Structures are given as structure tokens and as C-alpha cells.
Amino acid sequence: MARRHETQPLPTAALAVSSAAPAHLPAVRPVPDRPAVRYGPDPADVLPAQRGGDGRRGANAAAVLRTVLDHGPVARTTIARLSGLSPAAVSRQYLDLARLGLVHERPGAATGGAVGRPQVPVDIHTCGPLVGGVHLGVPFSTLCLVDLRGRTVAHEYLDGPGAGGRRSAGTLGALRERLPGFLAERAAGRPVLGVGAITGGWVDPSRGTVVRHTPLGWVDVPLRAELEGACGLPVLVDNHARAIAQSEILFGRPQARRSVVHLFVGSVVDAALGIAGVVHQGPRSAAGDVAHLPVADADAPCPCGRNGCLQAAASDEALGARAVAQGVLDRPDAFRLVELAAAGDEAADRLVRGRIRLVARAAALLLDVLNPDLVLVTEVSVLRHGHYLAALREEVLRHSRVCDDPERVAVSHAGERALQTAAGAAVLAPLYRDPLLFASRAGAVR
Ligand SMILES: [Zn+2]
């Protein structure tokens, strides 16, 4: 560990504290001696005993921060009314959170209507600390920085290994090499609280490993340790389908907090389930593997040995291969096919709609089994083009036996930035769950 910190250059600009932020703003220090960081994705991870008796203080801080997230800019009296805390408690929590750089006053955004002394509303400090994000994809990976509302501030793409898996070490090597420089250059002096790293397949956040990513050929890759060694910041990893569900719960449609199912269809096919604001992980965080769900009328051979698995039939690679086989493209590229289809190419459009039908059947099955308030689908054609989203909704409703409301089927609130917001959410979710605990674990306070 120590040797890595000596040999890896630290992101110096990302470590600097901006002049706009309090001088003791935390979390950007690499803290080489800190104990193993475990920001578990489950509230059960946050036990009062771990807080050293500060459980109530942490819960109150979270209540204030979440109220500001949902209603900011908002007056302190309104925060007190919405959170059920006393005005004095709100003021104390505000000071704690402002000291960490998470909230600030916005004098220009007066809420008005208050009797007596006018109040300066408070809001999430979106021009303050940032969170880094990494999405490891097959055709390309994405680096990003998001603000405390999960909105992209900067992003950059890195070429991926393709679907062969042979250059997977190259992907991770390229990420390790570029991540510190990206954070330093693009954060431009703003503090970076940590980095969320997401990818498809089986990802175990508590161990920080990618247990299995078939298209990349990864088995038990210690992604968290690799990236922490490279950038010197806390890194949290998660599956990308769960992270998109989490980002919708945090920043998206209110109904996602009641229940949400998310189906991700790209180079891998994954699902995620969130109930009452918690994304389900299950034993060893294996929840969400729908890659081998049998699909009717599909006979594509799957690496698992069977035919007609959802991932083998509906992945970007399968779609690209079909386009090449039918002479629509000269090389497999699902993204290019979708743009060709959207521009009016009839053969491309047939292929895109064929995949939408497969996706819709899987989404309808999940919808009927789990009956969530919201079904999110992440697939390139429905993400980019409204008429393909409309086609998906129509197909889902045709197959579902419980849903007759097309609005229950949607894409992420973040649209084409869904994966960037999701990568940030891997860090922002534990931050909003318990900001004081998060800050202390990041070496920021106490
Ligand atoms: Zn299979």
C-alpha cells in the first residue's frame, strides 16, 4: 500500500481546496493509513455502535441534508417543519453540513412568505465538492465528475477492449493511468470526495470486487483496490444496473423511492430492484443476474451452453452481429445501428424494434412478478429516441398482465447521462444516508 502511494502520482489539483470552500473541507486527502473503507450500500451497515454514540446526530444530519436535496433552496423553518426537527437542531445540523461543504446559503434565492425576519434559504452546495465516477464498459469506458446533485460536470471516454475480453487488463491499466490526471485537471481545484466505479455483471460492493464480468473475461478483479491505489481517494464499486436504480431513488422520480425495477441492456444484461428506497443486494451482492433468462422465439447460442438466453439474444453485441449478418452494417456496432434506424433506414429500424420486443418481454415479466411503481429500462435506442421508448411502452403493456399505464415504464431521469449520475451515486448514496459518518470515514472530521 505504502509503495503504491510512493509510486503513483497523486491528483494534486483534485486535492487542493477551492477558495470558495471552507479551508478545512475534507475528504480529498488520500489518507494512506486509514482503515479499510466499507461504505456498505445497505443502511444495516450503519450501526449506531459504529458511530460512537453519535447515531442521533448522524440521523438528524441526514434528515436535514435529504430535505435540502428534495426541497432546496429552502428556508430553515421549512426544513424544521418537513424533517420534524426543532429549529435549533436544524441550525446545528446546518453548521455541521456547511462545515463539510455539503450545503450553503443562497441569499439570491429568497423563498419569501415568511413572517418576521426574512430567511436566507439553504441549498445543496453544487458548486462545492465533486464526486468522481467511472463506468467500465466493453466498447468504451467513461470517466466523469458529478456535483452533489449527481449532475455531470465533466466527462471523458476511454476506448474499451471490445467484446473479446483479451485486453481487459489493458482497460483497467488505461483507467488507472488516466483517472488521477482526469480528476486533477477537470475538478479544477474543487475537492473530490471519492470515486464511484460501476460496471456490469456480478459486482460485490462490500469486497470491492468484480466477481464475474463475462464479456470482459473478468473473475474476482479487485477493482476498488486497483482504483484506490491509482487515485488515492476512497473508491466504492457497484453493479451499474443497481447504481442507476440508486440514482433514480436519490435524484429522480419520487415513485422510485416506493419501488423501482431497472433493466439494463447493453453489452451485458442486468436488472436491479429497489424497495422503500433501498436497492436490494442479497447474499454476496449477486442480485440482478437476468442474463440467462430464457427468451421465447430466440435461439442464439449462449456461452453458458444453452440457447435463447436474454443476454445472448438482446445484448449490443448480438444486435450488432445480426446487423452484420443481414448486411445492414459492415462491422457490429449497436450504437451506429440505432442512429441509422432513427435516420430512417428500414432494415436497421426492423432490427432495433426486434430487440425492443425482446427487452419488453423481459421488462413485462419483471413488472408482473414485482409490480413496482416504476420500471426503468436502459437501452440505447429507448434512451436516445422518444419513438423507440413509445414502442417499448406499447410492447410492455401488451405483455404485462398487471400494468396498463405506459408512464410506469421510463428511462432514467438523467437520460443519456444515466451511467455518469449512477457512478456518482455509488458515492453519493452513502453520503446522503449518513453525511457525518461518511465524512469521518473519509478522514474528514473527528
Ligand atoms: Zn445463457
pLDDT digits (tens, 9 = 90+) for 144-165: 999 999 999 999 999 876 544 4
Instruction: Tell me how far the alpha carbon of residue 308 lies from the centroid of ligand 1, in angstroms.
Output: 7
Mean pLDDT to the nearest integer, 42-68: 67
Note whether 225 and 258 are same-domain residues: no
Domain of residue 151: give its range.
1-252+413-446
Q: What is the pLDDT of residue 17?
A: 28
Distance 3 CA to ligand 1 centre (A): 42
Residues 198/239, Cβ–Cβ less than 8 Å: yes
What is the number of structural domains in the chain? 2
**Shared-domain flag, residues 332 and 314:** yes
Pair 48, 156 in one domain? yes
Measured in angstroms, how far is the CA atom of residue 197 from the centroid of ligand 1? Answer: 26
Same domain, 418 and 312: no
Percent of the chain with pLDDT over 90: 72
Segment 384-403 shows an average pLDDT of 97
Q: Is the pLDDT score of 320 beyond 90?
A: yes
Do residue 286 and residue 365 come from a single domain?
yes
Q: Cβ contacts of residue 253 below 8 Å, gap of 6+? A: 374, 410, 413
| Same-domain check for residues 246 and 322 | no
**Position 260 pLDDT exceeds 50:** yes
- Spell out which residues have Cβ within 5 A of ligand 1, the ion: 292, 302, 304, 306, 309
Q: How close is the Cα of 99 to the center of ligand 1, in Å?
A: 51
Integer-rounded Cα Rg, in Å, for the chain is 22
Specify whether 232 is located in the same domain as 369: no
Shared domain check, 380 and 263: yes
Q: What is the mean pLDDT of the chain?
A: 85
Rounded CA-CA distance 190/14 in Å is 6
pLDDT classification of 443: cutoffs 50, 70, 90: low
441's CB contacts (< 8 A; 6+ apart) are: 34, 37, 39, 234
**For position 112, what pLDDT does the model report?**
52
190-220 residue pLDDT tens: 999 999 999 999 999 999 999 999 888 899 9
Task: Examine the domain organization and report whether 248 and 307 are in the same domain.
Answer: no
Q: Are residues 259 and 239 in the same domain?
A: no
Tell me what pLDDT residue 278 has.
95
Q: Are residues 233 and 279 in the same domain?
A: no
CATH number at residue 358: 3.30.420.40
β-partners of residue 235 are 195
Are 63 and 204 part of one and the same domain? yes
Amino acid 54: pLDDT = 63
Are 247 and 425 contacting, i.e. CB atoms less than 8 angstroms apart?
yes
